[in-house]
Amino acid sequence: MRLKYVMSEVMVGLWRNVTMTVAMIITMAVSLTMLGASGLIYTQVKDMKAYYYDKIEVAIFLKPEITDDQRTSLEGSLKADPLVREVIYESKDEAFKKFQTMFSDVPAVVDAVKPGQLPESFRVGLKNPEQYQAVREAYVGKEGVDQIIDQRNLLEKIFNILGSVQTMALVAASVMAIAALLLVGNTIQVAAYSKRREVAVMKLVGASNWFIQAPFVLEAVVAGILGSIIGFGALALGKVLLLDGSLSELTDLLTPLSWGKVLIMLPLMALAGTLVSSITAWVTLRFYLRV
Amino acid sequence: MIQLEHVTKTYPKASRPSLDEVSVGIEKGEFVFFIGPSGSGKSTIIKLLLHEVTPNRGRVHVNGRDVTAMRSWKIPAFRRQIGCVFQDFRLLPNRTAYENVAFALEVIGKTKAVARRVVPEVLELVGLGGKEHRYPHELSGGEQQRVAVARAFVNRPLILLADEPTGNLDPDTSIEIMRLLDRINRTGTTVVMVTHDSNIVNQMRRRVIEIESGRIVRDQARGVYG
């Protein structure tokens, strides 16, 4: 009986003030979409780091005039280095073959380079890619070493871009969250005002505090859940239209974003929406109804 | 039943206290008038008994419990033992007489079945039999106050507080409401009524406590308005 009463109060309350309710749900949805997007970027970056850091290597290019002794001693010290996971020697011929396949669709580039022009190198995989600096310092001055290039630098650039996109999404999410918060507070005040007589009577006859507050708090919670469902819809749409659609060429570069990861965002967003809206509603009521 | 011990209440920004060192005891089943001019502090007593305000000093005991020290979450259960009527009735305009009384039951967790049994009974008791499904605006002032009394009494409270219940009513209607409160008092309910209606006080000949500038100046067993 009481549950039915509370639920019907919630529905009546949401409908009575329907424009505010819609505004509340939309801001909530946008905020939660941003939150979900930044969550997805976060997991994506983590996945990419795990995936690529295994594959990237430090390239130690050798000078053309390097002697066999120098090369052998260099290889030996690399193999003995505790920081190093594996060492692969790439001769001039191998470098040229690799180059040919890499640029096979641009024959002009391939023609411009002759075999033997490309330097030989050691491809060094590190146990921990973050320790590049130590490895660089150990080998940069060695005889026969020309240049040391860390492929991680390139990846870092991509991660930096993703990171700033994530930051922007988080900033947008928080700004929208503030707007949503204010709207929730306002909606609850309007609802409480329109029911001030009922509330006064309820307090007078000794209705418990939770019973007085529950319809208002639940109003906000329902709005929060609707907002998170709409926000999730926007995320799913974004995956279909952008990542799998117009931006698919770019996303081939990234690790694929599975539906499972998108789906996990739904409960997270619902939880965030519910928590934010119910706490705001409750705090508003504490001040406004003084129950 | 009700004990006030050296109660002082000063509202914020007020220059002098509404109640100043007031001590008074009211026994179970008594019918007590608090009289006095406007602003004398008599309504503050009702607010103290409902725990709507807390005293700055002193203790308020109701039904053996110290109201001043009561935790806020215990107040709802405490208020269920107290019925209350006001000058302005405080009925819900979009609910019928029956629904107004039933609302008071339902919000404290009574089932609809209980309401169906109890509400017609109490409406009959206050003399509104046959008018259960009228809305407040379809009832006279006296009838609206009867609905309010029915709502206050439906839980069979130990104490009925009445804050100028006849303030908006004509003399004849006022006397009818007083008869009703007298009947309720005879069931054993303690009635505390704040008023400045001298006619009524003189007719009832009950205990009269007169308050002036926050102090008790008279406490008479079968008093008149004076």
Nearest CA in chain B to A211: B107
Residue of A nearest to B49 (CA): A204
Give the model's pLDDT for residue A82.
Answer: 84
Dihedral over Cα of A25, A26, A29, A34: its sign: negative
Q: Is B107 on the interface with A (CB under 8 A)?
A: yes
| Residue B157 three-state SS | coil
Note whether B155 contacts A: Cβ–Cβ < 8 A.
yes
- A residues 158-197 near B, CB within 8 Å? 197
Give residue A291's pLDDT: 52
CATH top-level class of B1-79+196-226? alpha beta
pLDDT for res B176: 94
Show me where the domains of chain B are located. 1-79+196-226
Q: Give the per-residue pLDDT at B142.
A: 95
Residues of A in contact with B73 (CB under 8 A): 209
Core vs surface per residue A99-127: b (16+ CB within 10 A) or e: beeeeeeeeeeeeeeeeeebbbbbebbbe
- Considering only CA atoms, which of A24, A23, A27 is closest in space to residue A35? A27
Record: contact A204-B112, CB cut-off 8 A = no
**CA–CA separation, A277 and A89 (whole Å):** 60
CB-CB contact of B206 with B9 (8 Å): no
Place of tokens 């700004």: A175
What gap in Å lies between CA A245 and CA B18, rounded to an integer? 74
Looking at residue A83, its pLDDT comes to 82
Closest to A287 measured CA to CA, from A185, A178, A184, A179: A185
User: Which among A201, A206, A209 is the nearest to B103, CB-wise?
Assistant: A201
Measure in Å the smallest separation between the Cα of B151 and chain A Cα atoms.
9
When CB atoms are compared, the residue of A197, A201, A209 closest to B104 is: A201
Choice between A91 and B28, residue whose per-residue pLDDT is larger: B28
Query: Would you call B109 and A204 a contact, using CB atoms and an 8 Å cutoff?
Result: no
Q: How far is CA A77 from CA A55, A138, A139, B150, in A?
A: 22, 10, 9, 98
d(C-alpha A131, C-alpha A36), whole Å: 33
- For the stretch B112-138, pLDDT in tens is 999 999 999 999 999 999 999 999 999
Q: What is the mean pLDDT of chain B?
A: 93
Other Cβ atoms less than 10 A from the Cβ of B104: the count is 27
Angle of CA points B11, B13, B16, to nearest 5°:
65
Pairwise CB contact (< 8 Å): A200 & B92: no
pLDDT value of residue B220 = 92
Beta carbons of A209 and B73 less than 8 Å apart: yes
Nearest by CB to residue A204, choosing from B79, B109, B112, is B79
Mean of the pLDDT values across residues B218-223?
90
- Report CB contact under 8 Å: B79, A206: yes
- Chain B, nearest residue to A291 by Cα: B72
More confident residue, A147 or B58: B58
- Secondary structure string (H, E, C) spanning chain A: CHHHHHHHHHHHHHHHCHHHHHHHHHHHHHHHHHHHHHHHHHHHHHHHHHHHHHHCCEEEEECCCCCHHHHHHHHHHHHHCCCEEEEEEECHHHHHHHHHHHCCCCHHHHHHCCCCCCCCEEEEEECCHHHHHHHHHHHCCCCCEEEEEECHHHHHHHHHHHHHHHHHHHHHHHHHHHHHHHHHHHHHHHHHHHCHHHHHHHHHHCCCHHHHHHHHHHHHHHHHHHHHHHHHHHHHHHHHHHHHHHCHHHHCCCCCCCHHHHHHHHHHHHHHHHHHHHHHHHHHHHHHCCC
Q: Dump the DSSP string for B13-57.
A: T-SS-SEEEEEEEE-TT-EEEEE-STTSSHHHHHHHHTTSS--SE
**Model confidence band, residue B187 (pLDDT cutoffs 50, 70, 90):** very high
Contact B112 A1 (CB under 8 A): yes
Residues from chain B contacting residue A203 (CB–CB below 8 Å) = 76, 79
Block residue for tokens 């609850």: A188
pLDDT of res. A149? 83
Is A290 near chain B, with CB under 8 Å?
Answer: no
Please enumerate in sequence order all residues whose Cβ is within 8 A of that of B175, keeping only pairs 6 or more positions apart, or say none: B200, B203
Return the pLDDT at B46: 92
Q: Which residues of A touch B53 (CB under 8 A)?
A: none
Across the beta sheet with A84-90, the strand order is A84-90, A121-126, A58-62, A145-150
Query: Which of B107, B111, B135, B149 is best to mutate for the A interface (most A CBs within 10 A)?
Result: B107
Q: Which two tokens stand for residue A278?
A: 């119910």
Indicate yes or no: CB of A211 within 8 angstroms of CB of B107. yes
pLDDT at A116: 77
CA distance A278 to chain B (A): 20
Strand-pair partners of A121: A61, A90
User: Between A and B, how many residue pairs show a Cβ–Cβ distance under 8 A?
Assistant: 53
pLDDT along chain A (291 residues), means of 10: 74 82 90 89 81 78 84 85 84 84 78 81 81 80 82 78 86 88 88 89 90 89 93 91 76 74 90 92 85 52
What percentage of chain B has pLDDT greater than the value 90?
80
Q: Return the pLDDT at B123.
A: 96
Q: Can you give the C-alpha Rg of chain B in angstroms?
A: 17
Is the ipTM beyond the 0.95 threshold?
Answer: no
